[in-house]
């Protein structure tokens, strides 16, 4: 069965290309936005062209990777693989998911990487076609490479190239992946770090035939080592092969930083360059895509974010970074309210999380999904259960709430205890709390929230 999708038309005013000019080489990235005439965000030169080209090629490698997915779906998913680029005040970010949605990559180009003028802030899609990828492979440090992200008049009119349109079914799993990655990263802590040469040695030494099972990465002197048993201070890694994309990039890095969310087993791997950063975030299991996790469903189910959301959304007009604690203090909101509002913004594709800075960043996707949180199946089912009148609370004891939710020929018992929740349904028995709450837990949370609001 095909997943839910939203139709969206990508309009590229020209094909992405690398063109030799009298002044050197121009790297022109065709973008797709709601108004191509206002889509230019940056124009200038790359100070480290080979490094920049390698990072972008690494991003494309992740997009084209299939760590776990039925082969018959591959061609359809790769057709939706145009990376997203966000231009903030001082960072140019390129983001993408693997074909299976179980790995997320982001290349951040910092001020030292770019010599030019930023003419706007915003987010758009970038056309990474086959000729563009081939051109990136030919870039050398001796090349004088210009970078134009957007649709400036010169690029739009050069060579009389026509607009390229591709109408695609944008999968909601892609958008859900953004919010789930953001949720995972916001809980991660830095666990390990190794200097660049040690990172190269570690990545080159990874087994070539590693399967989808989990291993552990542990400190070893100044470097890292792989272990099949849990060591002190180690980080769990499922699917060692997912780190392969970092091997070719690590030679440019000063260091490799490793972050982990111990509760879930998700991890993030950051290559730190002088002028850029490359993040690779991997899901807790090779067979688990980020899009199906459902971590923010509880936050979306209750109404705590309704008041904070407009204030937070308005602040994005002049802030490219979001400090949750600062927002809570400035507007006298509780941290839970702000976190829930951030989850709502994330579900609409408007925020991401930067581990290096420990802060959220603004992302504005080029399509309207204002009510995308209503498209989560579990949340929809929970609302229908509450609307049907069969959900009821049978006991309260402080923060502990017990509820009954009708199922198919059976009633399920739900227990809410602070941030923890349990249910007697088969879905909960299979996944526990690893993939967000089941629809029965959400239904009781919705009912309790309605009672508090009334």
Q: What rounded mean pLDDT belongs to the chain?
A: 78
Flag whether pLDDT at 182 surpasses 90: no
**pLDDT value, residue 160:** 37
**pLDDT value, residue 226:** 93
Q: Output 448 or 367, whichever has higher pLDDT.
A: 448
Task: Give the global pTM.
Answer: 0.79
Mean pLDDT of 173-191: 84
Q: Output 342 or 157, whichever has higher pLDDT.
A: 342
Question: Residue 195: what are its φ and ψ, rounded to 5°?
Answer: -65, 160
**pLDDT value, residue 158:** 27
The full DSSP string for 92-140 is: EEEEEE-TTSSEEEEEEE-GGGEEEEE---EEEEE---HHHHHHHHH--
Confidence of residue 87 (pLDDT cuts 50, 70, 90): confident
**pLDDT value, residue 290:** 77
**pLDDT value, residue 74:** 44
**pLDDT value, residue 220:** 93
Percent of residues, the chain, with pLDDT higher than 90 = 29
Give the separation between CA 112 and CA 274, rounded to whole angstroms: 8
Run of H or E including 360: strand 359-362
Give the separation between CA 295 and CA 377, rounded to whole angstroms: 13
Mean pLDDT of 259-273: 93
Comparing CA positions, the residue from 187, 258, 244 lying closest to residue 65 is 244
pLDDT 10s digits, 143-152: 777 776 654 3
Q: Which CATH number applies to 181-291: 3.10.150, 2.60.40, 3.30.750, 3.30.420?
A: 3.10.150
Task: Determine whether 212 is exposed, middle or buried from the number of CB atoms within 10 Å of its CB (0-12, 13-18, 19+).
Answer: middle
Give the separation between CA 304 and CA 244, rounded to whole angstroms: 41
pLDDT 10s digits, 199-234: 999 999 998 776 667 899 999 999 999 998 888 889
Mean pLDDT of 178-201: 92
Mean pLDDT lowest for which of 211-215, 253-257, 268-272? Answer: 211-215
Flag whether pLDDT at 337 surpasses 70: yes
Give the separation between CA 236 and CA 234, rounded to whole angstroms: 7
Q: Which CATH number applies to 297-360+369-373: 3.40.50, 1.10.10, 2.60.40, 3.30.1120?
A: 1.10.10
**Which residue(s) pair with 123 in the sheet?**
86
Mean pLDDT of 418-443: 88
Flag whether pLDDT at 403 surpasses 80: yes
Confidence of residue 51 (pLDDT cuts 50, 70, 90): very high
**pLDDT value, residue 60:** 84
Is the C-alpha dihedral spanning 125, 185, 379, 386 positive or negative?
negative
**pLDDT value, residue 243:** 94
**pLDDT value, residue 5:** 54
Domains 181-291 and 297-360+369-373 share a fold: no
Mean pLDDT of 422-426: 94
Mean pLDDT of 257-279: 94
Confidence of residue 78 (pLDDT cuts 50, 70, 90): very low
Directed axis angle between helix 377-387 and helix 439-453, to 10°? 60
Mean pLDDT of 388-393: 91
Q: Output 297 or 398, whichever has higher pLDDT.
A: 398
Confidence of residue 157 (pLDDT cuts 50, 70, 90): very low
**pLDDT value, residue 113:** 92
Flag whether pLDDT at 167 surpasses 60: no
Beta-carbon contacts of residue 361 (< 8 Å; ≥ 6 apart): 86, 88, 91, 93, 320, 321, 322, 351, 352, 353, 354
**pLDDT value, residue 256:** 98
**pLDDT value, residue 77:** 45
Percent of residues, the chain, with pLDDT higher than 70 = 71
Number of helices (H) and strands (E) in the chain: give both, helices first.
14, 26
Domain borders along the chain are 7-94+106-170, 181-291, 297-360+369-373, 376-453
First to last CA, the chain: 40
Q: Which of 114-128, 152-166, 306-320, 394-408 is the most confident on average?
A: 394-408
Mean pLDDT lowest for which of 293-297, 349-353, 354-358? Answer: 293-297
Confidence of residue 32 (pLDDT cuts 50, 70, 90): low
């Amino acid at each position: 069965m095909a997943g839910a999708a939203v139709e969206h038309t990508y309009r590229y005013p020209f094909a992405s290309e690398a063109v030799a000019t009298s002044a050197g080489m121009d790297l022109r990235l065709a973008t797709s936005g709601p108004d191509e005439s206002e889509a230019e965000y940056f124009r200038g030169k790359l100070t480290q062209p080979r490094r920049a080209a390698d990072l972008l090629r690494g991003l494309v490698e992740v997009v084209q990777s299939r760590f776990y997915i039925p082969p018959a779906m591959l061609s359809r998913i790769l057709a939706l693989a145009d990376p997203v680029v966000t231009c903030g005040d001082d960072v140019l970010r390129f983001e993408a998911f693997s074909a299976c949605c179980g790995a997320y990559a982001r290349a951040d180009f910092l001020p030292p990487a770019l010599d030019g003028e930023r003419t706007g802030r915003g987010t758009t899609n970038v056309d990474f076609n086959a000729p563009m990828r081939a051109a990136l492979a030919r870039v050398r440090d001796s090349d004088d490479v210009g970078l134009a992200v957007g649709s400036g008049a010169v690029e739009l009119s050069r060579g009389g190239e026509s607009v390229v349109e591709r109408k695609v079914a944008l999968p909601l799993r892609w958008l859900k992946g953004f919010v789930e990655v953001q949720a995972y990263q916001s809980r991660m802590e830095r666990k390990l770090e190794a200097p660049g040469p040690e990172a190269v040695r570690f990545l080159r030494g990874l087994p070539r035939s590693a399967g989808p099972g989990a291993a552990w990465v542990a400190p070893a002197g100044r470097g890292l080592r792989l272990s099949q048993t849990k060591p002190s201070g180690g980080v769990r890694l499922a699917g060692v092969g997912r780190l392969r994309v970092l091997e070719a990039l690590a030679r440019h890095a000063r260091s490799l930083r490793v972050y982990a969310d111990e509760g879930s087993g998700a991890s993030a791997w950051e290559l730190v360059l002088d002028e850029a950063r490359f993040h690779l975030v991997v899901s807790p299991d090779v067979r688990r895509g980020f899009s199906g996790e459902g971590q923010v469903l509880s936050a979306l189910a209750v109404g705590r974010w309704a008041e904070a959301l407009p204030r937070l959304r308005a602040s994005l007009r002049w802030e490219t970074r979001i400090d949750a604690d600062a927002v809570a203090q400035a507007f006298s909101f509780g941290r839970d309210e702000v976190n829930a509002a951030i989850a709502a913004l994330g579900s609409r594709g408007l925020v991401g999380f930067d581990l290096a800075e420990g802060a959220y960043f603004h992302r504005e996707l080029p399509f309207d999904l204002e009510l995308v949180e209503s498209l989560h199946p579990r949340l929809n089912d929970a609302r229908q259960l509450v609307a049907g009148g069969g959900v009821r609370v049978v006991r309260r004891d402080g923060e502990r709430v017990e509820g009954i939710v009708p199922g198919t020929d059976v009633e399920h018992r739900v227990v809410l205890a602070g941030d923890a929740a349990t249910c007697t349904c088969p879905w909960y028995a299979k996944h526990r709390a690893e993939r967000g709450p089941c629809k029965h837990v959400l239904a009781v949370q919705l009912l309790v929230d309605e009672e508090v609001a009334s």
